[in-house]
Structure 1
Amino acid sequence: MKPSWEKEDEMRGYINILSNAVQRSISYRIDVYFILISRVIGLLVQISIWRALFSGEEYVSYSGGVLSIQEIVTYMMLSAFLSLLINTRVTNTINDKIKTGEIAMDMIKPLNFKYYMIFDTIGYNLFLILFQVIPLSLLALLFFKITLPSIPYMLLFVVSVINGMIINFIMEYVIGVMAFWFIVSWPLQMLHRSLVKVFSGIWIPIWFFTDSVQAINDILPFKYIFFTSASIFLEKLTFHEAYIQIFIQYIWIIVLVLAERFIWNKGLNRLIIQGG
């Protein structure tokens, strides 16, 4: 067991990583403002398309019930917010470290590499929350009449969002580690992000998927990254259904953590064997 002073030094190291990630991101804040403007324009286009699809109707039916145009607008706003938070740089960072051999130096540092990536991601997300999520949220509340859920649903929403971020982080981390075998992992990253956009419901609400596609999607992790959170926010799930969805999120986190440990150990052995 590590002495308390060593644990404190280690924690200070992780806090410094988080702080550096925020400061590094702030140095590119001008670019972020342009990105924010482009996201607002994209969001307005999406909302206009959905309004056109509703053909002037206030409600549309789906297999599980009825959706209003206001709920679709809220859903699109949630998509804009949460797609920011679930998007990470972890795959690119790991890929670059493996390609340049820097990963070997990271292995001899006193800080755990995975925790390094976690705190770097948290720092980056804090920056996004301050400079993109909060401005978009204020825009939504002021101009789009977004209705917040009740407090119990809001608490469940926050838990499900955190779980979704963890699920996506682990998947991106695993893809980054795959660079031990493929040298570059960006094709896998592109495939993963495309699957997330489609099957998590970020592009199209899963309510409009066919029953057969929804059945397949239920056994995949993607819907639990975003759609579960959106469904809870819109109160489209009963409390019992929300608890079940969150429980499934925890199952996926456990499964993915086990997979990550197995793949990381295999990749590390490969690095050692190759003399890294």
Structure 2
Amino acid sequence: MKLYLAFMTNEFQSNLAYKTDVFLKMFGRVMGLFVQIALWTALYHSTDSATTGMGQISLNDMINYVVISTCISVFVNNDTIFRIGDKIRSGDIGLQLMKPISLQTCMLFQAMGTSASRIFFELTPLVVIAAIFYPLHIPPVHLLLLFAVALINGFVINFLLAYILGMVGFWYLNIYHLSRLLSDVIKVFSGVWIPLWFFPQILTHVSAFLPFRLIYFSPISIYLGKTEWSGALLLIVQQFMWIGILLLVSELVWRRGISKLVIQGG
């Protein structure tokens, strides 16, 4: 475990090496937040709330939704696809097989190190600025705890999806566009920009069978109190089920990929 913590610490420190880059990212997050809230404010200009299939959604709900969604994106996004793609393309993946460590666990801790640095230097300023300009909702303690569990699970789900797609590089070296594909699919079905409250019924049903809503929409629904206690627990159970499924898929893809690598003499 100490070795993996060292990977996380190194990643945390390396993300602080380029302070200008950190500042620009934070500035971009803040500008994106203001733009999204301005758009939703314009859409709500003639009404205080909107009727959806999941109940009444007020402008204040949407402002809080945008803030939390932006904060989650800071926390869960990672570059795992690029990392594993580079290892496969450069041949470093062969050296990984000789090390007594798990590539998946190593990359998970590296993603955690990146997220930790973002919490301090992107997420915290973002929350402070948002709190100055907008009335932010603070849920009860029990919802905060459930939200924290759902947020961590969403981070793991997003990581595993990126890790599995990254391993496509064993068969198809040019995988960088897969990062854009994953990002676009998540944007559509996770509710990162448009909450599932406003989705057509057919898309809502489709998203229920996919893991993407469990990354953004489900944690935010718990935070805003739009999901009852029993429903929140069910969502967390679904997250654990998807984590188990994705772990199994990642192990199967890894074994197939390594087998292909060895057969080809990699």
Q: TM-score range by the shorter chain?
A: over 0.9
2:176 maps to 1:192:
no
Q: Distance in 2 between matches of 1:89 and 1:146?
A: 30
Structure 1 length normalisation: TM-score? 0.94
How many aligned positions are there? 266
Q: Distance in 2 between matches of 1:29 and 1:121?
A: 19
2:29 maps to 1:39:
yes
2:236 maps to 1:227:
no
Task: Give SS of 1:178's match.
Answer: helix
The one-character-per-residue Cα deviations of 1:161-218 (angstroms, maximum 9, x if unpaired) are: 0111111100100011110001121222211110001110001011000111101110
Task: Give SS of 2:124's match.
Answer: helix
Q: In the alignment, what sits opposite 2:42? A: 52
Q: In the alignment, what sits opposite 2:75? A: 85
Q: Distance in 2 between matches of 1:71 and 1:88?
A: 27
Q: Distance in 2 between matches of 1:82 and 1:47?
A: 16
Q: Which segment drifts farther, 185-194 or 129-138? A: 185-194
Q: In the alignment, what sits opposite 1:7? A: none
Q: In the alignment, what sits opposite 1:252? A: 242
Q: In the alignment, what sits opposite 1:62? A: 52
Q: Distance in 2 between matches of 1:27 and 1:56?
A: 47
Q: Which segment drifts farther, 133-142 or 213-222? A: 133-142
In structure 1, the gaps of 5 or more residues are: 1-10
Of 116, 131, 148, 2:138 maps to 148
Q: In the alignment, what sits opposite 1:271? A: 261
Q: In the alignment, what sits opposite 1:162? A: 152
- Structure 1: 4+ residue segments shifted above 6 A: none
2:11 maps to 1:21:
yes
Task: Give SS of 2:50's match.
Answer: strand
1:238 deviates by 0.5
Q: Which segment drifts farther, 221-230 or 140-149? A: 140-149
Task: Give SS of 1:246's match.
Answer: helix
The one-character-per-residue Cα deviations of 1:232-251 (angstroms, maximum 9, x if unpaired) are: 01000000111111111111
Q: Which segment drifts farther, 85-94 or 181-190? A: 181-190
Identity %: 34
Q: Distance in 2 between matches of 1:95 and 1:238?
A: 41
1:107 deviates by 1.3
1:82 deviates by 0.5
Mapped contact 2:29–2:126 kept (Cα < 8 A): no
**Mapping of 1:5-16 within 5 angstroms?**
11-16=1-6
Q: In the alignment, what sits opposite 2:202? A: 212
Q: Distance in 2 between matches of 1:154 and 1:43?
A: 22
RMSD (Å) for aligned C-alpha atoms: 1.0
What amino acid is the match of 2:216? F
